[in-house]
Amino acid sequence: LGLYKIIEPLGRGGMGVVYAAEHVHLGKRFALKVLTRAVSRSKSAIERLKQEAVAASRIDHDNIVDVVNFDETSDGDVFIVMELLRGTSLGDEIKKGPLPLERALRVAIQIARALHAAHDKGIIHRDVKPENVFLCEREEGELVKVLDFGISKVRDDEAERVRMTKT
């Protein structure tokens, strides 16, 4: 994918695959979400991925995944480039059993901060669920990242509303 060398697949969803990739010049690792070829033929799927990239990058908050690029290859592969997160999803974590109250409160507060920052920018997530919350392992403690703004509702500076809904 041009400036990125694919390292390994990280996960697969209904619209595409997320890979660990390395920037060929910087040597820095990122996560690439690439639409499948079948999905990338759909204008609405491309707009949804672009919506995810624009919304997340517009917010610029510690508790929201950092999206750094949206692009398309000459072969028609459409992708976004995000920070590479280390840890697990909240969905996977709660499958192990209930979180201790103190940890659950720390996670909930960070989710609330992320959503507050999004709302301040006129963005409503509309798909908050455990699978879209990632628990990052950091030296200073657990950091929560809210992911997947693909079906968010965005109101830009001119109060124009863009609505994208899942089929």
d(CA 158, CA 162): 11
Q: Which of 66, 71, 77, 127 is catalytic?
A: 127
Cβ-based burial of 150 (10 A; exposed 0-12, middle 13-18, buried ≥19): buried
Q: Is the dihedral of CA 149, 153, 157, 161 positive or negative?
A: positive
Cα 65 to chain center, whole Å? 5
- The angle that helices 43-59 and 101-120 make with each other, rounded to 10 degrees, is 100
d(CA 125, CA 77): 25
**Is 127 designated active site?**
yes
Q: Which residues contact 10 (CB under 8 A, 6 or more apart)?
A: 18, 19, 20, 31
Task: Name the residues annotated as catalytic.
Answer: 127
